[in-house]
Structure 1
Amino acid sequence: MSSPHHGEGPRPQDPPTEPTQPVPAAPEPRAAASADEQPGASHTQPMPRSPYLPFASLGGDQPQAPSPQPYPAHQQAGQHLAPAQPERPRRGPGWGGALALALVAALVAGGVGGLVGGMADDDGGGPTIVQRVGGSAERPDGSVAAIAADAVPSVVTVRVSGGGGAGTGSGWVYDDRGHIVTNHHVVDAAGDDGRVSIELTDGSRRDAKVVGKDSSYDLAVLKVDPTDLDPLDIGRSGDVAVGDEVVAVGSPLGLGSTVTAGIVSALERPVTAGEAGDESFISAVQTDAAINPGNSGGPLLNGDGDVIGVNTAIAQVPGQQQASGSIGVGFAIPSDVVVRTVDQLIATGRAQHPIIGVSLDRRWDGEGAKVLEDDAAQGGRAVVPDGPADKAGIEAGDVITELDGRRITDLDQLITRIRAKAVGDKVTLTIRRDGKERELTMTLEAAEES
């Protein structure tokens, strides 16, 4: 169809020219989005109250394209319009010719696939949907989705009620005998007469019995019916490096089967948690994977899906009375400590705590950990007679500056590093006495349990 020349009216065979659509006005400038607003959200229309957009609002009618203009949009320099000349009515290629041209263009541009793709979208404005080869549940080995698919069925929600209150935490299947690993502080509220149960991913629940628990390592072991339970594989935390990718699984805020991911942020981070006299001393794996209340007791997994830690604590912002949620600084008990402690709890119901046999001075604000002077120690003896430190030659007032060649900054770091060892391990201590340093070797012994 020929467009009318300048000064001509529409010809009788031409359809009436459609009015052009108005161009929407540009949105008014606005202030920067507040923290409550979602990034990238449109503010030209009021947002719905629900945080989820209704389905209809996601797939509304597409805006219609403007009608073709009857004149060229611009004129090139030096171009002149010829005077109107009478001419015979001409017909365009018609629908048949237009379709043939479209088919040729499709074949030339993209082959048969381009033709099929162009014809499949009748309205010309729909999305392109790509179907994943191999099924929606398959993901590459080592991906977070693949790790989660394997691990989630072996992670449980631990539910506790008793005289100390009620609450939920997390746990995971340790072996094929029905032992579940969790934190001491998760089950401690049950006391001796409370009830402990686990909830599986399918929603079913099983009663659990506390086999053993230890506040110093913040670990506990439960026993349940082992039917259809698959234990998780356990890796060596000693092989973990800062920057390794990790996945945390658990029940934060009671939301079971929750998966978060991050990296190992630091190793051997000294963490002391709990009330005075009932503290947990942990040489922890630090991670930025989101960990919240309720994640406690759940596994921290490496890129192979192996357990390399048990999530146990989150950092608290200074000045707050209580940690409210993840701030990207979470801590896990290293798996090497977990295996050693859990095996002891399963075998005897108790765990051994390695000690060096000294009383430390919490008033000391210098570098290292200072052994109390005898006149300040309980019972008048800062070094336990015939204990590991006494046998190695440590005296009251000595300052311990290194353990196995690594600097000690304060007494909490010394305690957590000692607790990360096993009874019977040999360690080398560097001490400072009268301004001089010396090295001593000692063998760790088990603390006497009261």
Structure 2
Amino acid sequence: MRSTFLLFSSLILLSGQAWSADRQMESKGAKTDISALLKVQSDVQKLLPKVRPALVAIQTGGGTASGVIISADGLLLTAAHVPNGPGKEMRVIFEDGSVTTAKSLGLDKTTDAALAQLKDRGKPWPFVSLSREVAKAQPGEWCFALGHPGGFDKARGPVLRVGKIVKQTANSLHTDCILMGGDSGGPLFNSNGEVIGIHSQIWEGRDQNVHVSMAPFLRSWDAMQKSQVIKTWGIGAGGYLGVATVMNDDLELSVADVIDGSPALKASIRAGDIILSVNGEAMTDQQQFSATVRARAAGDTLKIRLRTHGKERDVSVQLAQKPQEEGE
């Protein structure tokens, strides 16, 4: 009864958050009312017992996060910034408090997608399915998020948030599901109980958060299973910068890697630098930075403001032609 009340309450609160978006959609014939909320509540209540066993809490040297199992042999999806590299051993906790370990496989540093493998226990692991119909995750669709905000808490258990998709990009989904630190790497589900996203960029106090969609996972599946690190460098129409970025623990855009011989390296950009702005425009996430760089051609100059060891500095970088042998 308590879980039913909490779910219903969250839906009532959510209806207030989604009011503006719903008002816009009413002109197109879509309308959210109490019957629609009750339908969502019923659907989530049926799905929750099926998907929750596949959710795990993850503990690494850098803190706590979440993940989700998507195969009987223990393949795990999480965010790339959780292990931050292949071959890392992670402590994995299930909702009943049982503990095992997982080894991180490959990851995509630009989109924040990562795979890991649970230690074999001799019998099938609980798992959920992922959606391969990436384009179907459209703005206005209901979804729900699971995770372990603040870390594993057996008395509290996993935390459920219900919301709507606000925006879809090539590699991400934005939703109004309220997330916190510790949710990173956890799953976003559609109304069929399929994973459609992995929690990536979380801003407490803001009205939306960013999840890696299934597109990067499906696109780089074989490479990540082979423990490869995919680096999609920022390029424009022939322009080439030569950096990979990641959101750090303080939710700042950080340089994760700089390729040898690249314009970025020649401009003295180094791993660990914080990217504050490009041509005067503040940079708040990876997608915005990639889009800003992609809009420039080879030969264009970017003025990038960085913070290095607490001190801010400006560098000018002239984009080059992308080397044929690079790209990942």
Structure 2 length normalisation: TM-score?
A: 0.59
Aligned to 1:337: 216
Aligned to 2:50: 150
Structure 1 CA distance for aligned equivalents of residues 112 and 209 of structure 2: 15
Structure 1 CA distance for aligned equivalents of residues 59 and 158 of structure 2: 14
Query: What is the one-letter code of the residue matched to 1:347?
Result: K
**Are 2:115 and 1:233 aligned?**
no
**Are 2:92 and 1:198 aligned?**
yes
Instruction: Name the larger-Rg structure.
Output: 1
Aligned to 2:59: 159
Q: What secondary structure, in the 3-state scheme, does the structure 1 residue paired with 2:216 have?
A: helix
Give 1:282-361 correspondences, 5 Å limit: 283-315=171-203, 325-351=204-230, 353=232, 357-359=238-240
Q: What secondary structure, in the 3-state scheme, does the structure 2 residue paired with 1:208 have?
A: strand
Structure 2 CA distance for aligned equivalents of residues 147 and 310 of structure 1: 18
Instruction: Note the C-alpha offset of 1:376.
Output: 8.1
**Are 2:114 and 1:220 aligned?**
yes
1:282-336 Cα deviation digits (max 9, x unpaired): 7421111111111111111001111111111123xxxxxxxxx253311111112
Number of aligned positions between the proteins: 224
Query: What is the one-letter code of the residue matched to 2:188?
Result: L
Q: What secondary structure, in the 3-state scheme, does the structure 2 residue paired with 1:213 have?
A: strand
Task: Find 1:180's aligned residue among 70, 76, 90.
Answer: 76
Instruction: Note the C-alpha offset of 1:194.
Output: 6.4
Structure 2 CA distance for aligned equivalents of residues 348 and 159 of structure 1: 20
Higher relative contact order (CA 8 A, sep 6+): 2
Aligned to 2:260: none
1:226-248 Cα deviation digits (max 9, x unpaired): 53412211112211121110010
Contact 1:248 1:300 in 2 (8 A): yes
Unaligned stretches of 5+ in structure 2? 1-38, 242-262, 264-277, 282-291, 304-315
Aligned to 2:24: none
Instruction: Note the C-alpha offset of 1:364.
Output: 8.1
Structure 2 CA distance for aligned equivalents of residues 192 and 359 of structure 1: 26
Aligned to 2:321: 383
Q: What secondary structure, in the 3-state scheme, does the structure 1 residue paired with 2:219 have?
A: helix
Query: What is the one-letter code of the residue matched to 1:296?
Result: S
Structure 2 CA distance for aligned equivalents of residues 218 and 341 of structure 1: 12
Aligned to 1:70: none
Structure 2 CA distance for aligned equivalents of residues 173 and 370 of structure 1: 39
Instruction: Note the C-alpha offset of 1:341.
Output: 2.7
Structure 2 CA distance for aligned equivalents of residues 192 and 300 of structure 1: 23
Structure 1 CA distance for aligned equivalents of residues 171 and 301 of structure 2: 31
Q: Structure 1 residues 193 and 284, CA, compared in 2 at 3 Å: closer, same or farther?
A: closer
Aligned to 2:288: none
Aligned to 1:447: 326
Query: What is the one-letter code of the residue matched to 1:233?
Result: S
**Are 2:192 and 1:266 aligned?**
no
Structure 1 CA distance for aligned equivalents of residues 141 and 48 of structure 2: 17
Q: Structure 1 residues 363 and 140, CA, compared in 2 at 3 Å: closer, same or farther?
A: closer
